[in-house]
């Protein structure tokens, strides 16, 4: 692969990360406004059932059904630097194996819906109506998306940035519009309004994916694209007459499936604990989920898109399982620089959130939900979350590289470690929540993230051990920048303690300018002393 091709892959990954950040920000703003509206029309119990119980059903089905396929196929997608006939044949095998998502998803959906209907405590039908119907609707919604998932994964392999943006942006806007409209116009339907909006979302998403690819083929654009392996719409479907698959990819999928099952427990652990152990009431679950959504705003809109997009970059650039000395030298120089700058970027963003999140949690919660959220444990939960976000940032980026570079036997070995991580997390979640309430979930997540960071950074350390400079140095910003963050933290904390006794309006106009001034001072320090990162951002994003 030439230097120009390497740069094109990085450019596409950077562009995808940028678009994903904008999309995630837009989605979170819509969700933010959506919750603000729905809190005034439905009960906290209903919100807890939707945002915890039903969303957990939906995410469990999708994650278990597609995550293993997505990671394995992105790593092993056919490259265009071979004969056209071989390239097309390899893609036929890939398409065949991708369509296995549908039967796997059907089995998982049936099992999950059965558990949600018959083995979990149901909410009081007087306060939360139509629970059974909503469970069936969310299960059907997940299956609709899985019918389009093979083509979506294929488009990721082919770096179809526009399709990714359209398929995520338009359905979410439509879902939010319908949800707000239904909740305002038909509040008596309760959670059924969310179920109908979810179905509309999935139908729209599947329609966009199929419609875009069919248009791409019919318009003749596919014939001008040497990297597009299909000549007709029929070739997007599995070849039942010759159902050949790549055995190595299938084995890798199974490894990632086992790994993704454990990762899902870690990712949604608090929801599983709440759902299966009934530690918190549905109303308390609703309040915790709102605070959790606010706390994870930056993590989901910044760090998750970076992880997803640059996993594609690392997977394309690295020969899986080979040590650094056996990799292409030009690629490794680029990979090392990108990893260094990514680590530095997410650490600095995490430090900004830690520094200012601690002193402005109360203000944010009061502006959003009034005294219902700002009184009690809400501000403390959000303060804890601001520290947890820093750990999330580091873990997402280090594991992004780790998953793209590790050997197949290391995938298997990591599955066993993930099992231990999962057990540690579930036990710590249960014990800490029993004694500390909702804050226990966040502390358990912090413990889990710290263990996983230690594991992935050790892998990166060993991988680049023979290199002159380890990309892990990206985790340590310039000391002057760290002093600036520490100073801003204490100044904002002191400002809050002196002004919090005022009425809220006077508190806000007194406390906010202090934070703005500190943020500008920190930004100036970053510009002056993080020149390597600034150059990377200019080159990869602004100049393109």
Mean pLDDT of the chain, nearest integer: 83
Q: Residue 217 domain-assigned?
A: yes
pLDDT confidence of 46, banded at 50, 70, 90? confident
Q: How many helices (H) and strands (E) does the chain have?
A: 22, 0
Q: Residue 497 domain-assigned?
A: no
Q: Residue 280 domain-assigned?
A: no
CB 67 within 8 A of CB 256: yes
Residue 213's Cβ-side half-sphere holds a number of Cα atoms within 13 Å equal to 28
pLDDT at 55: 92
pLDDT at 220: 79
Total domain count, the chain: 1
Reported as a single tens digit per residue, the pLDDT across 102-139 is 999 999 999 999 999 998 988 888 888 899 999 999 99
Average pLDDT, stretch 33-53? 79
pLDDT at 31: 66
CB 356 within 8 A of CB 488: yes
Higher pLDDT among residues 198 and 28, named by residue: 198
Please enumerate, as own/partner, the contacts of 33-37 that have beta carbons within 8 Å and a separation of 24 or more: 33/176, 34/176, 34/179, 34/180, 35/290, 35/293, 36/368, 36/369, 37/180, 37/183, 37/184
Q: Residue 233 domain-assigned?
A: yes
pLDDT at 20: 60
List, as one string, the DSSP characters of 104-115: HHHHHHHHHHHH
Average pLDDT, stretch 392-399? 89
* Phi then psi dihedrals of residue 449, to 5 deg: -65, -40
Domain that holds residue 142: 41-245
Q: Residue 396 domain-assigned?
A: no
pLDDT at 192: 93
Burial class (CB within 10 angstroms; exposed 0-12, middle 13-18, buried 19+) of 280: buried
pLDDT confidence of 21, banded at 50, 70, 90? low
Q: How far apart are CA 473 and CA 471, in angstroms?
A: 5
CB 289 within 8 A of CB 48: yes
**SS3 annotation, 398-456:** HHHHHHHHCCHHHHHHHHHHHHHHHHHHHHHHHHHHHHHCCHHHHHHHHHHHHHHHHHH
Lowest mean pLDDT among 134-143, 305-314, 521-530: 305-314
Q: Residue 154 domain-assigned?
A: yes
Radius of gyration (C-alpha) of the chain in whole angstroms? 24
pLDDT at 203: 96
Token duo for residue 466: 């023979």
Q: Residue 132 domain-assigned?
A: yes
Q: Can you give the pTM of this predicted structure?
A: 0.69
pLDDT above 60: residue 3: no
Q: How far apart are CA 166 and CA 142, in angstroms?
A: 19
pLDDT above 90: residue 429: no
List, as one string, the DSSP characters of 466-523: TSSS-GGGGGS--HHHHHHHHHHHHHHHHHHHHHTTS-HHHHHHHHHHHHHHHHHHHH
Q: Give kind and range of the element (H or E) at residue 311.
A: helix 304-317
Q: Residue 202 domain-assigned?
A: yes
* Residue 137 CB coordination number (10 Å): 22
Higher pLDDT among residues 481 and 268, named by residue: 481
- Phi-psi group of 218: left, alpha or beta (phi > 0 → left; psi -120 to 50 → alpha; rest → beta): alpha
Lowest mean pLDDT among 162-166, 342-346, 508-512: 162-166
Average pLDDT, stretch 293-308? 75
Q: Give kind and range of the element (H or E) at residue 350.
A: helix 329-369
pLDDT at 274: 85
CB burial of 183-206 (b: ≥16 within 10 Å; e: otherwise) equals: beeeeebbbbbbbbbbbbbbebbb
pLDDT confidence of 6, banded at 50, 70, 90? low
């Amino acid at each position: 692969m030439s230097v120009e091709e390497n740069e094109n892959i990085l450019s596409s990954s950077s562009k995808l990360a940028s678009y994903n950040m904008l999309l995630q920000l837009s989605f979170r703003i819509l969700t933010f406004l959506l919750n603000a509206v729905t809190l005034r029309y439905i009960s906290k119990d209903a919100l807890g059932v939707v945002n915890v119980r039903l969303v957990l059903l939906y995410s469990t089905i999708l994650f278990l059904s597609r995550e293993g396929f997505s990671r394995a196929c992105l790593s092993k997608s056919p490259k265009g630097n071979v004969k056209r006939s071989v390239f097309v044949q390899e893609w036929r095998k890939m398409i065949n194996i991708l369509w296995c998502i549908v039967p796997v998803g059907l089995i998982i959906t049936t099992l999950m819906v059965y558990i949600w209907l018959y083995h979990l405590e149901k909410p009081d039908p007087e306060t939360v109506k139509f629970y059974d119907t909503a469970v069936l609707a969310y299960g059907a919604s997940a299956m609709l998306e899985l019918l389009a998932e093979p083509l979506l994964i294929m488009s990721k392999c082919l770096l179809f940035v526009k399709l990714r943006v359209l398929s995520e942006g338009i359905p979410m806007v439509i879902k939010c519009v319908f949800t707000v409209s239904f909740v305002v116009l038909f509040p008596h339907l309760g959670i059924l309004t969310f179920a109908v909006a979810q179905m509309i979302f999935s139908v729209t998403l599947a329609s966009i994916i199929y419609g875009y690819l069919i248009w791409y083929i019919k318009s003749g654009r596919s014939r001008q694209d040497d990297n597009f392996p299909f000549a007709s719409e029929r070739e997007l479907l599995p070849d039942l007459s010759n159902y050949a698959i790549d055995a190595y990819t299938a084995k890798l999928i199974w490894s990632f499936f086992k790994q993704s099952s454990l990762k899902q427990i870690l990712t949604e652990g608090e929801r599983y604990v709440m759902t299966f152990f009934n530690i918190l009431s549905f109303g308390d679950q609703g309040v915790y989920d709102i605070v959790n959504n606010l706390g994870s705003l930056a993590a989901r809109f910044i760090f998750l898109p970076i992880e997803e997009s640059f996993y594609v970059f690392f997977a394309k650039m690295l020969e899986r399982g080979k040590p650094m000395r056996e990799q292409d030298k030009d690629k490794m120089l680029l990979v090392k620089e990108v990893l260094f700058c990514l680590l530095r970027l997410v650490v600095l963003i995490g430090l900004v959130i830690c520094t200012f999140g601690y002193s402005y949690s109360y203000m944010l919660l009061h502006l959003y939900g009034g005294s219902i959220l700002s009184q009690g444990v809400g501000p403390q939960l959000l303060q804890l979350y601001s520290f947890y976000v820093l750990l999330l940032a580091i873990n997402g980026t280090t594991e992004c590289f780790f998953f793209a570079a590790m050997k197949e036997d290391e995938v298997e070995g990591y599955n066993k470690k993930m099992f231990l991580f999962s057990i540690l997390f579930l036990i710590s979640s249960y014990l800490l929540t029993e004694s500390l309430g909702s804050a226990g979930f966040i502390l358990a997540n912090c413990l889990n993230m710290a263990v996983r960071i230690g594991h992935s950074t050790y892998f990166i350390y060993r991988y680049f051990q023979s290199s002159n400079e380890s990309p892990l140095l990206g985790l340590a910003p310039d000391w002057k920048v760290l002093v600036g963050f520490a100073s801003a933290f204490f100044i904002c904390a002191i400002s809050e303690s002196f002004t919090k006794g005022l009425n809220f309006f006077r508190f806000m106009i007194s406390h906010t300018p202090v934070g703005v001034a500190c943020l500008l001072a920190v930004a100036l320090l970053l510009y002056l002393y993080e020149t390597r990162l600034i150059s990377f951002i200019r080159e990869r994003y602004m100049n393109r």
